[in-house]
Amino acid sequence: MALAASLNSVSIFFVSLVASSVLLYASYLILLHPLRKYPGPLLAKVSDWFTGFHAFKKDLHLEIFQCHQKYGPVVRVAPDRLVFNTVEALQDIYQNGRVSKAYTYGSSVRNNVDNVFTARDKDIHRARRKMIAPALTERAAKSFEPSLMEHVATYLRQVLEASKNSEPLNMTEKARHLALDIVTELSFGSPLNVQTSDENRFVSKALAFGLYRGNIWHHVFYLSRLWAYSFLDLLFFESREKYSRLLDKLIRDRVARARGKSVWWEAHFLVVAGSDTTATATSATFFYLSRNRECYRKLAQEVRSSFASAAEIKSGPQLANCRYLRACIDESLRMSPPVPGALWRSQDPDDNQPLVIDGHVIPKGMLFGISSYAIHHNEAYFPDPFAYNPERWLEPRTPGKKSAYDAFAAFSIGPRSCAGKAMAYLESSLILAKTLWYFDFETAPSTLGEVGAAKGRERAGEFHLEDIFTTRHDGPYLVFRPRGELWKDLI
Ligand code: HEM
């Protein structure tokens, strides 16, 4: 009896100790922490689980947008993290030699080998970027173009086949397969052929799972160091291991001898970086064009009057002169950015001068970033931000006024911005221009036509994205009609 009573008081003592420590720590985070003056949700001030939970729900980009609406241009979204939403902050963060990628990128490092994406050290990053740069310059994109065209032709033949009996096509699926074939050919010199065979289609799922898990770790970093890592790996071991073996084989055949070498990780990263991102850009553009018929008509007119034949649709001055095409792609990237969340950064560890971001002195050790989705919907830079309006990209610059281009962050900016931008624009321009050359298209009838439109939100005109660092999405389902006899080129 006496033992039970003393055990009871010991447990009460420990529970009270834990509860008061938690309370004390929460009070410190709210009242005394260096970021205490910044507004934000209460849970965010005391725990990483605010962003962690939304990363888990895949809606963190929407939540950050809502936070800016509610709290203003600087919001505390975790005990040690601030998100900004201005052009000044975009420059101060990403064009700043005193700022590095945050430690959270370490959660994507495998076997202690950094790649161009994870490297935080500037010298290591420079070396990695130099390694991949020759494959991604504008000139390289041009010399890769014949292979790219072959994959686009395969896609066009599939569209033609479906058009014969007005079969609706899911453009997310088409764009994903096409982009994966292109980027694997670019990285390894041989494609996975997912457009024509389903044998390797599991790769897309394996990549998406890795990105989703990594995005949660970016926000609740310690999970990457805990049991969850091995547990989830065990759960998804098979497809990940299958993917690693496939990658091993592709690389062994072409570029390197063994897994674990740095080239293995660079090639792996290029597949991650260049597949779903470009697929999002093209599927989103198809979505917006199918719903904004005036934009569709203008773009079709531009493409059909700029070239005399399909063979002329290739990189060069004629394609570069299709300014409306570029405006449509940029407007889709604005409304539905393929990397929609905050790219976390911190002050260089060896820099001890005060760091100022958009007029705010940032205490050392804090993380900060900008969500492309949020800044792309900031009314100060993009009036009527939920309207698809490619014309905004064609307006002349007004001196002294921030233009759309100043706030465009789809590829990020600065030394860590996208290395594959030229390839991404070439790929999406060719896919869209060639599709509009050969076909007319419209949204599929009935409920299929609604797939892709923002689920459960009031803005049905928006292409719905799930944030997994890059994105997942579905649709739009489109029905194609060949234009005259032009299709005969394709067979
Ligand atoms: C529309 C398509 C694309 C978008 C929107 C996009 C966006 C981005 C963004 C936002 C980053 C910065 C990530 C960060 O700071 O954490 C990035 C980095 C990168 N992207 Fe892309 N990307 C696209 C396509 C591609 C393609 C096709 C490739 C190559 C085949 C590529 C290769 C890379 C590489 C190598 C990096 C790392 C750069 C560095 O850290 O130095 N991307 N991309």
**Ligand 1 lined by 270 (C-beta under 6 Å):** yes
Q: Is the per-residue pLDDT at 97 higher than 90?
A: yes
What is the pLDDT averaged over residues 405-418? 96
Task: Retrieve residue 79's tokens.
Answer: 């005990």
Task: Retrieve residue 283's tokens.
Answer: 């599927």
Ligand 1 atom 24, closest CA: 274
- Closest C-alpha among 260, 315, 344 to residue 433: 315
Tens-place pLDDT, residues 303-355:
999 999 999 999 999 999 999 999 999 999 999 999 999 999 999 999 999 99
Q: Give the integer Cα–Cα distance in Å for 364 and 352.
A: 8
Place of tokens 């994105």: 471
Q: Is the per-residue pLDDT at 230 higher than 80?
A: no
Query: Counting Cβ atoms within 10 Å, is residue 92 exposed (0-12), middle (13-18) or buried (19+)?
Result: buried
Task: Retrieve residue 259's tokens.
Answer: 């897994």
pLDDT at 107: 78
For residues 247 and 253, the answer to whether their CB atoms sit within 8 Å is no
What is the pLDDT averaged over residues 379-392? 95
Q: Which residues pair with 356 in a beta bridge?
A: 361
Instruction: Find the 415 Cα to ligand 1 centroid distance in Å.
Output: 11
Q: Is the per-residue pLDDT at 2 higher than 60?
A: yes
Q: Is the per-residue pLDDT at 1 higher than 80?
A: no
pLDDT at 258: 45
Tens-place pLDDT, residues 123-163:
999 988 988 888 888 788 888 999 999 999 999 999 999 99
Return all residues near 389 (Cβ < 8 A) that are at least 6 apart: 331
Instruction: Find the 194 Cα to ligand 1 centroid distance in Å.
Output: 22
The torsion angles phi and psi of 414, rounded to 5 degrees, stand at: 85, -170
How far is residue 337 CA from its own chain's centroid?
Answer: 6
Nearest atom in ligand 1 to 119's CA: 40
Q: Give the integer Cα–Cα distance in Å for 173 and 352.
A: 49
- Closest C-alpha among 310, 268, 337 to residue 152: 310
Q: How many CB atoms lie within 10 A of CB 115?
A: 25
Q: Is the per-residue pLDDT at 408 higher than 80?
A: yes
Instruction: Find the 15 Cα to ligand 1 centroid distance in Å.
Output: 48
**Ligand 1 lined by 426 (C-beta under 6 Å):** no
Tell me the torsion sign for CA atoms 179, 169, 327, 335: negative
Q: Is the per-residue pLDDT at 245 higher than 60?
A: yes
Domain covering 33-490 assigned CATH 1.10.150.120 in the classification: no
Tens-place pLDDT, residues 31-78:
888 999 999 999 999 999 999 999 999 999 999 999 999 999 999 999
**Ligand 1 lined by 207 (C-beta under 6 Å):** no
Q: Which of 138, 277, 376, 413 to mutate to test the pocket of ligand 1 (most atoms within 8 A of CB)?
A: 277
**Ligand 1 lined by 339 (C-beta under 6 Å):** yes
**Ligand 1 lined by 132 (C-beta under 6 Å):** yes
For residues 89 and 359, the answer to whether their CB atoms sit within 8 Å is no
Instruction: Find the 420 Cα to ligand 1 centroid distance in Å.
Output: 6
Task: Retrieve residue 464's tokens.
Answer: 């719905």
Q: Using only C-alpha atoms, what is the Rg of the chain?
A: 24
Q: Is the per-residue pLDDT at 400 higher than 80?
A: no
Tens-place pLDDT, residues 343-377:
999 999 999 999 999 999 999 999 999 999 999 99
Query: Counting Cβ atoms within 10 Å, is residue 210 exposed (0-12), middle (13-18) or buried (19+)?
Result: buried
Q: What's the chain's average pLDDT?
A: 89
Residue type, 74: V
pLDDT at 227: 58
Instruction: Find the 177 Cα to ligand 1 centroid distance in Å.
Output: 18
Q: Is the per-residue pLDDT at 415 higher than 50?
A: yes
Instruction: Find the 149 Cα to ligand 1 centroid distance in Å.
Output: 22
Strands of 180-323, DSSP E: none
Instruction: Find the 225 Cα to ligand 1 centroid distance in Å.
Output: 26
Tens-place pLDDT, residues 432-475:
999 999 999 999 998 888 888 866 566 778 999 999 999 999 98
Q: Please state which of the ranges 189-193, 232-236, 332-336, 411-415 shows the lowest mean pLDDT.
A: 232-236
For residue 470, the SS3 value is: strand
Task: Retrieve residue 342's tokens.
Answer: 């905050």
Instruction: Find the 164 Cα to ligand 1 centroid distance in Å.
Output: 37
- Closest C-alpha among 144, 130, 143, 136 to residue 182: 144
- 259 pLDDT band, cuts 50/70/90, is very low
**Ligand 1 lined by 334 (C-beta under 6 Å):** no
Q: What is the pTM of this model?
A: 0.93
Instruction: Find the 385 Cα to ligand 1 centroid distance in Å.
Output: 24
Tens-place pLDDT, residues 183-222:
999 888 888 999 999 988 888 888 888 899 889 989 988 8
Instruction: Find the 272 Cα to ligand 1 centroid distance in Å.
Output: 9
pLDDT at 371: 98
Nearest atom in ligand 1 to 339's CA: 10
Peptide bond between residue 476 and the one before it cis (omega within 30 degrees of 0): yes
| Calculated CA dihedral for residues 65, 66, 70, 75, nearest 10 degrees | -50
Q: Is the per-residue pLDDT at 27 higher than 60?
A: yes
pLDDT at 457: 62
The torsion angles phi and psi of 236, rounded to 5 degrees, stand at: -110, 20
The ipTM, to two decimals, is 0.99
**Ligand 1 lined by 343 (C-beta under 6 Å):** yes
Within a 13 Å sphere around the CA of 123, how many CA atoms are in the beta-carbon half? 0
pLDDT at 223: 81
**Ligand 1 lined by 141 (C-beta under 6 Å):** no
- 11 pLDDT band, cuts 50/70/90, is confident
Return all residues near 395 (Cβ < 8 A) that are at least 6 apart: 403, 404
Instruction: Find the 412 Cα to ligand 1 centroid distance in Å.
Output: 8
Q: Please state which of the ranges 206-220, 261-275, 403-417, 469-483 shows the lowest mean pLDDT.
A: 261-275
Please state, for a pLDDT cut of 70, what percent of the chain lies above it.
Answer: 91
Nearest atom in ligand 1 to 337's CA: 5
Q: Give the integer Cα–Cα distance in Å for 326 and 429.
A: 7
Q: Roughly how many angstroms between the first and final C-alpha of the chain, as a whole number? A: 90
Q: How many CB atoms lie within 10 A of CB 447?
A: 8
Task: Retrieve residue 228's tokens.
Answer: 């969850």
For residues 329 and 285, the answer to whether their CB atoms sit within 8 Å is yes
How far is residue 214 CA from its own chain's centroid?
Answer: 13
The domain locations on the chain are: 33-490
Ligand 1 atom 18, closest CA: 418
**Ligand 1 lined by 163 (C-beta under 6 Å):** no
pLDDT at 37: 95
- List helix spans (H) across 28-80: 42-46, 49-57, 60-71
**Ligand 1 lined by 278 (C-beta under 6 Å):** yes
- List helix spans (H) across 255-292: 262-274, 276-291
Q: What share of the chain is helix, strand, coil (3-state, %, to 5)?
A: 60, 10, 30
Q: Is the per-residue pLDDT at 229 higher than 90?
A: no
